[in-house]
Each structure stands twice: as C-alpha cells, then as structure tokens.
Structure 1
Amino acid sequence: MGGMSTPDDTEFSVGQSAEILGVTVRTLHHWDAMGLVRPSGRTYAGYRRYSHSDLQRAQHALIYRETGMSLAQIGELLDSGTPVAEHLQRQRDLLAERLEGLHHMIAAIDQILGHEMNDETTPLTVAEKAEILGSSWSPDYDAEAAERWGETKEWELSQQRQASLTKKDWRRVKTELEELEARLAEAMRRGVAPGSPEANELAEAHRANISQWFDVSHAQQVLIARGYVADPSFRAHYDERAEGLAAWLKAVIDANAAAHRVNPEAARWQ
C-alpha cells in the first residue's frame, strides 16, 4: 500500500486508486458493489472518483483483511463509527495476535523437522504428536475412532499397520493423499462424469489409497464415502479443495461400485 500525502480534496481514478493501494481494479469494483469501499464521486461519464478518505477506508479494509476477518465483518466494523485511532490500535492488536500464532506454528514445524532429521526411522509417539502439534491434534481423535470401530478386524489391522510406520513413511502417506485429492479436484473441474472410464480409474485409486490400512471392498468404499457428505468435517475438507468435491467423489465411488455389481443403496460392511 502506498502512502497518501495529497490534499483531502484530491480525487483519484479507479486505476490510480488501485495502484496506490496495491490492489486490482477488479477488487475495487467488487468492494464498491458490496458497499465496503464506495467512491465518493463520479465523473459526468459515470467513472468512479475516489477521495483521500475513500482510500483511507480502503487501507483500513486491507489491514483488517490481513488479520483474517471476512469482508462482511470488515464492512460492519468500518461502518460502526469507530475513530481512526481505535481502528489502528485494534488492527495492531489483531496483527500482533496473528504474528504470535505464526511464530508458534513455525516453532512447531521446526520441532517436527528436528525430530525427522534426527531420526527418520523412529515412529512418532502419541506424546510426540501431542507435544509437537498442540491443539491441532488430540489423542481424543483416536479415542473416538476406537470407540466406534475398535471391535472390528479392520480397525485392528489398520492400527497394526500404522504402528509400523516411521516418520518418513508418514510423510509419504501425506504426500500421496494430497496428490490423489489434487487429481480428484482437477478431474471434477474438467467435468469428468461419474461412471466414465477416467472416473472409475480415480475411484480405484481412492480405494487403493484406503486399502493401505485394510483391504477395502467396493461396498465398504461406498459406506466410507457416505461419510464424506454426511460428516461436516469431511465435507469441509474435500470442499476446501474444490467446491462440491465431496458430493462428486461420492457419486464417482457409487458409480464405480455399481459397475462392479454393488448396489450403492444396499451396500453393507462385509
């Protein structure tokens, strides 16, 4: 964001304003349309003209955006009548809080790297996960899954396989899953239809990825995929990759199962 030392009665075109603020013209058009930052003036031809105070409001919006606030929240705050000095103090406090969080995450990553560089072959213990990852992971997650599936042979097998993994193995697991999810999102964006050869191949790749923990049948894959749309956390995970990905993936898995003579509506865990 550039500085503004011009008189208050100076007006700027939308292009000049975008250059001063370090944003695109499209951003200013969007902010105008939603009422976040509206130009005070217009030329006879209808072109936007921004005043010094308009740009000041835009600068405050940019700072608040850096703190992670939504544009709707920023608009409400800027319209509240809060004095500029209070805005600046609030912005400083929010940025300082975010900076503290970033320092914590950097320290966590450094600690994880230290563990992996010192010993690539030793499995990560529960205590190490809790210490390194903090609030982003909890033993309660494993406890909840154990309560639901702990009596099944699949759970026992998955726990045995996970226990044998080293830190290097976990990095591979994470990379492979991210690559698969990226392939799924890209295929959905291209309009790949459930039931098509490419979609069926992706469904099999998905089944193979899960089968590293236990042998997953097509019926079991269908039941697992139901959770992708029924469970808010699963749905949010996939839809963060691409909007609608959870529902699309379920449709792809159902169609592939049907091609293998499994009725998705009547699937049972066998």
Structure 2
Amino acid sequence: MTRDGLPVGETAAQLGLTVRTLHHWDEIGLARPAARSAAGYRLYTDADLERLRRIVVYRELGLDLEAIRAVLDEPGDDVSAQLRVQRAQLAQRIDQLRELDDDLGRMIEAQKHGVLLSPDEQRAVFGPDWNTDWPAEARDAHGSSPQWQQAAERSASRGAEDWAAVTSTLAGVEAELGAAMAAGIRPEEATAAALVERHREALSAFYPVSRQMHVHLGHMYVADERFTAHYDRVRPGLATWLCEAIEASARAHGIDPDTAEWA
C-alpha cells in the first residue's frame, strides 16, 4: 500500500470487485474511501480495506446492502438479529430449491418415460388393455417433437388421480360418440361436430391438439389396428365414424383433410 492508501483500481483487484462496484458503494455511503490523492482520486486505507472485506463476506452470505450497512454500523446485538433473519431467509430458500430440485427430477423422468406411474398404476388408471410399453414406443417415435415435450411437462405434475380424471373425461366423450353413432347421427351433422370438438379438447389434456392435428389422429384411428380396436370396443365401426366426423368438422372450418399438416 502507498503511504496514503490504495487507488481504486488496485483495491478492486485485491478484493475481486469491479471499480464500478466501489464507486457505487462510495456514492451510497456504504464504503467511502478515507483519503484522496492530490489529483482527487479515491485512496483506500487499511481501515477502508477491512470494511470492504467485511462487506464482501456479508454480501456472499446473501445480505442486501442496507442489511450490511446495519450490520456494520449498528451495535453488536443488531448484528445477531440481522444474521438470524438472514439465516431464516436462507432456510426458506433452501426449501424452495429442494422443491425445485424435486420438480426438475420429475420433469427429467417425464421427458424420459412419459407417464410417471408404475406399471400397476398405469393398468389401474388406463385399463387392463393398456400396454405399459406404449409410452416408450411414443417416446422413441416422437421424443424430439414439441408435443412430446408438452405432454412430458404436463405429466411431470400428474399423479394417479390426475391421470384418472383425464382418462375419465376422455372415456366419457368416447361413450357419447358411440351413443351418437348408435342413434343414427351422421358424421357431418352438428351433433357430431360438437362431440368432435369435445373429443379434441379432451385429447388436449395430453398436449394442445389443433384441428389439423386432430385430422391426423382421426386417420391414425383407422390405420392403426390398436386404436381401431379401442374405438370399436366402444361401438363397432366407431373408429371410422369418428374419423369421418373429424374430417367433416375440419371441412366446416376451411381445412382440407387430405392436405392438413401436423401443426
């Protein structure tokens, strides 16, 4: 150190701070240098450096600048009080970080597995015909798609009861679709169109389903024997009827089912 003190640049370097930080602390009266050079530049004495080191310690502990000012400038009993407050705030933050860590862990697992239920829970929620390999197949086929990411984000916050509610809603709509078909409602009728819209909304519990995407799903219901079997168990021929109803609804909204894109 020089006889009168260290200049601001050397002080900042010694403490791992920036010159701008020291200027700010000077301006707010938190750490003002005790001396000035003949040219008017800041000079930090040994006492100034000791105060700055204490400021750095308390800042690393998470105290804000006003709390640090109180710790340094008020009687000793107030220091303990300030530190107890800071410790309580830190404990709260630790709890929040643990919750965040748990949430991130579930998100990672959901991105990997799709459904965060055990095989037995999956069969209990989705029914005895559910194949527990299907989520893995879907991940392999669509794991890089936005829809998989969206579905995983939703899955991360769902337990068995949440999935049961989603499944119950979709099953209720499917039953109404079967009843409409049995009642002789044609796919192009308004009643069918309303049910198609409710079906799309129920599917959107997994990921947002646009009308164009719904067309593609309708085609899959008749092209994939597993989906055909599912809908035809509700009502024989329902897969084809639903596909036709989805196409009719798409046309009513200006969408050509033959050229609809997955978007």
TM-score (norm 1): 0.50
> Are residues 1:156 and 2:133 paired?
no
> Are residues 1:168 and 2:155 paired?
no
Residues 193 and 199, structure 1, Cα contact 8 Å, conserved in 2: yes
Residues 129 and 137, structure 1, Cα contact 8 Å, conserved in 2: no
Q: Give 1:125's match in structure 2, choosing from 117, 121, 131.
A: 117
Letter of the structure 2 residue corresponding to residue 243 of structure 1: P
The 5-angstrom pairing of residues 74-153 of structure 1 reads 125-126=117-118, 129=121, 139-153=132-146
Q: Give 1:263's match in structure 2, choosing from 253, 256, 261.
A: 256
Give the match for residue 190 of structure 1: 183
| Percent identical | 36
Give the match for residue 246 of structure 2: 253
Number of equivalent positions: 148
Bigger radius of gyration: 2
Give the match for residue 173 of structure 2: 180
TM-aligned CA distance change 1:268 to 1:177, over 3 Å: same
Structure 1: unaligned runs, 5 residues or longer:
1-122
Give the match for residue 65 of structure 1: none
State the distance in 2 between where 1:183 and 1:199 align. 10
4+ residue runs over 2 A deviation: 123-133, 135-140
Q: Give 2:215's match in structure 1, choosing from 222, 229, 246.
A: 222
- Give the secondary-structure state (helix, strand or coil) at the position aligned to 2:158: coil
State the distance in 1 between where 2:258 and 2:151 align. 26
Residues 250 and 257, structure 2, Cα contact 8 Å, conserved in 1: yes
Residues 170 and 203, structure 2, Cα contact 8 Å, conserved in 1: no
TM-score (norm 2): 0.52
Give the match for residue 46 of structure 2: none
Give the match for residue 212 of structure 1: 205
Deviation digits for residues 162-188 of structure 1 (CA, Å, limit 9, x no counterpart): 221122212212221221111000000
State the distance in 2 between where 1:170 and 1:213 align. 10
Structure 2: unaligned runs, 5 residues or longer:
1-114
- CA offset at residue 142 of structure 1? 1.3
- Give the secondary-structure state (helix, strand or coil) at the position aligned to 1:265: coil
Give the aligned CA root-mean-square deviation in angstroms: 2.5
- CA offset at residue 129 of structure 1? 3.8
- CA offset at residue 125 of structure 1? 3.3
State the distance in 2 between where 1:178 and 1:131 align. 15
- Give the secondary-structure state (helix, strand or coil) at the position aligned to 1:216: coil
